[in-house]
Amino acid sequence: MPVQALQSSEPSGQPGRSPLHATAYWTTGPGTGELRSETLSPPGAGQVLVRTLHSGVSRGSELLVHRGGVPPEVAQSMRAPFQQGDLPGPVKYGYLSVGVVEAVGRGADKDDEQGGSPLLGKTVFCLHPHQDRYVVPADAVHPVPTTVPARRAVLAGTVETALNALWDAAPRFGDRVAVVGAGMVGAAVAALARRFPLQRLQLVDRDPSRAELAASLGVDFALPEQAAGGCDIVVHASASGEGLSRALELLGPEGEVVEVSWYGDAPVTVRLGAGFHARRLAIRASQVGTVATARRARRSTSERLQLALELLSDPVFDALLSGSVGLDDLPAAMVDLATGRRSALCLVVDHPTVPSDLAS
């Protein structure tokens, strides 16, 4: 999924402080990646140092980047907030990171009543690539609620995308809804949509093994050919022309498909010659780069992300976490994901780092 770009600033050094060393994952070319070392300066004014606990692999956009499948005309809009390098690469890309604030620069946040920093020592989410520690502006980190485990919090960016899609879709009381594509985003949409008073909700996927995922989420599952039609809304997340065509077929007259898939440079063929015009169907894009139109005047991207973190208090989202690897194993794991040798909704990357000498 493309994400909104934030301005990142280079960390400013402080006299007399030793530089910090970090390790980050880079995509070096189509189908290849490696770990690279870099040097960080201690956090300057308005910055924080984060030691990473976990990061998550977003299969959609990160595998597109890994394969070199991002069209040049959208490379700029696909930039991740703290991306380094330019697409197609070499590039440091990713945006699902959870860590602990180890140190804060002057003015990074207001001191609490005891004279300490309310961010220091807090578990936070940041839209940052896979890196074991990093320095970012303080307003780029979002405190993780105490009711949300750090490992589950890597899903914040995905749940934010799902939340935005439902703001776009605007389901109503008694609606009949289908979600086509039981991947990471589709499953998150279904997990949120199940909280609405709907007449019917089905998670649709061509992989019958996803029935177990649907059961974990507490929603009905259907293979594409078995899914119920007459839907008011279909959220499409399969990233395939076949899935989009089936999503249109599932709509009732004047129904709407909300498209959250990201296709990259893959051509898409959709069957519009049947009932598309006669039934006055609609396809509308939903993209997380901006807040959905229905909420844009009243919600900022920061507020939307904080709401996504609060929604992750629901343990049902643990069903989206599909195993883990260490940071050292991430280059090989990306190849396995891209080639199908490894299957995962959200692969969690564990970062076993030790506190720096700046921690207090």
Q: Strand pairing partners for 23? A: 37
Instruction: Check residue 8 and give its pLDDT.
Output: 35
User: Over its length of 360 residues, how does the chain's per-residue pLDDT go in tens digits?
Assistant: 444 333 333 333 344 455 689 999 999 999 999 999 999 999 999 999 999 999 999 888 899 899 998 888 888 878 899 999 998 889 999 999 999 999 999 866 555 444 457 899 999 999 999 999 999 999 999 999 999 999 999 999 999 999 999 999 999 999 999 999 999 999 999 999 999 999 999 999 999 999 999 999 999 999 999 999 999 999 999 999 999 999 999 999 999 999 999 887 788 999 888 789 999 999 999 999 899 999 999 999 999 999 999 999 999 999 999 889 999 999 999 999 999 899 889 999 999 766 766 665
Same domain, 141 and 162: no
Instruction: Tell me, yes or no, whether 325 lies in a domain.
Output: yes
What is the per-residue pLDDT for 353? 67
Enumerate the β-bridge partners of residue 50.
101, 134
Same domain flag for 189 and 165: yes
125 and 198 in a single domain? The answer is: no
Q: Is the residue at 275 inside a domain? A: yes
Q: How far is CA 40 from CA 43, 50, 138, 169, 205, in A?
A: 9, 11, 16, 43, 44
- Three-state secondary-structure class, residue 46: coil
Residue 5 lies in a domain: no
Domain-embedded: residue 306: no
For residues 131 and 172, membership in a common domain is answered with: no
Write the pLDDT tens digit of every residue in 129-139: 999 999 999 99
Predicted local distance difference test score (pLDDT) of residue 99: 98
Residue 171 structural domain: 158-285
pLDDT at 1: 43
Do 131 and 28 lie in one domain? The reply is yes
State whether 134 and 44 are in the same domain: yes
pLDDT score at 110: 54
* Residue 9: per-residue pLDDT: 35
DSSP string, 156-189: HHHHHHHHHHHHHH---TT-EEEEE--SHHHHHH
How many domains would you assign to the chain? 2
Specify if 117 maps to a domain: yes
298 part of a folded domain:
no
300 is a domain residue? no
Could you tell me if residue 262 is inside a domain? yes
Q: What CATH number corresponds to the domain at position 262? A: 3.40.50.720
Q: Are residues 37 and 81 in the same domain?
A: yes
Identify whether residues 24 and 135 lie together within a single domain.
yes
Contact 55, 82 (CB under 8 A): no
Give exposure, 63-72, as e/b (b: 16+ Cβ within 10 Å).
Answer: ebbbbbbbee
Do 40 and 127 fall within a single domain? yes
- With a CB cutoff of 8 Å and minimum separation 6, the contacts of 299 are 291, 307
Tokens 């949300």, located at residue: 148
CATH number of residue 335's parent domain: 3.90.180.10
Q: Which run of H or E residues covers position 322?
A: strand 321-326
Residues 105, 218: Cα–Cα separation, whole Å: 45
Domain co-membership, 221 together with 132: no
Side-chain half-sphere exposure of 351, counting CA atoms within 13 A? 29
Last residue within a domain, chosen from 237, 270, 285: 285
> 52 and 86 share a domain?
yes
Q: Let me know whether 130 and 226 are in one domain.
A: no
Question: Cα–Cα distance between 228 and 206 in angstroms, integer?
Answer: 14
In single-letter form, the type of residue at position 21 comes to: H
Sign of the C-alpha dihedral, residues 208, 213, 215, 218?
negative
